[in-house]
Amino acid sequence: MKRPLPLIRLYDFIGLGLLLPGPSGVRYSNQTGGHSCTQSEVESYFVPLHNDLALDPVELLGPEPELRAHFEGPKHAGCGAPFGLDDEDVEVISRILVKHRLGNLLAIDEARLTESHEAWVHVIVLDEDDEPACFSGFGPYPRAGILTWGNSD
């Protein structure tokens, strides 16, 4: 009998991460989807993305606070978009990615909007990160990826 792959739960990870599906030998899981508390999981490689920190006062400056605010705000109210993302969500998330210098690296995978929800957004990785180079050698590009961050629940 084949043993299941090791599992790393990202429940306590702070910030934005990119999952690059592939034969890593490790499964990554995160609680996603707001109050639905979906246990999303994929065999992949994990890359933390643009998680800057201010020290006085201590504050996360990366994309996660803005992504969380969108899904906790009046539109989704913590429900996590369990039935998928819409055009407005794509616009907001894309604007956040551009603001944090990730717009040339990632695009929302609009063919997989119904599979995306809070803290589990399917993206297309357009190229390797070069500011600063936090990952390389995962081409050819474009390729599939998943953005994940702390669930609002």
- Cα–Cα dist 55/32, whole Å: 28
Question: Given this model, what pLDDT does residue 131 score?
Answer: 61
60-72 burial by CB neighbour count: b if 16+ within 10 A, else e?
bebbbbbbbebbb
Q: pLDDT at residue 128 above 90?
A: no
Mean pLDDT over residues 57-72, rounded? 90
- Cα–Cα dist 44/27, whole Å: 6
Q: Write out pLDDT tens, residues 11-27.
A: 989 999 999 999 999 99
Q: Determine contact, residues 50/101, Cβ cutoff 8 Å.
A: yes
Q: pLDDT at residue 133 above 70?
A: no
Domain boundaries, the chain: 16-132+144-148
Question: Given this model, what pLDDT does residue 76 score?
Answer: 86
Question: Given this model, what pLDDT does residue 78 score?
Answer: 80
Q: Which residue would you say has higher pLDDT here, 106 or 53?
A: 106
Question: Given this model, what pLDDT does residue 123 score?
Answer: 98
Question: Given this model, what pLDDT does residue 34 score?
Answer: 85
Mean pLDDT over residues 48-65, rounded? 86
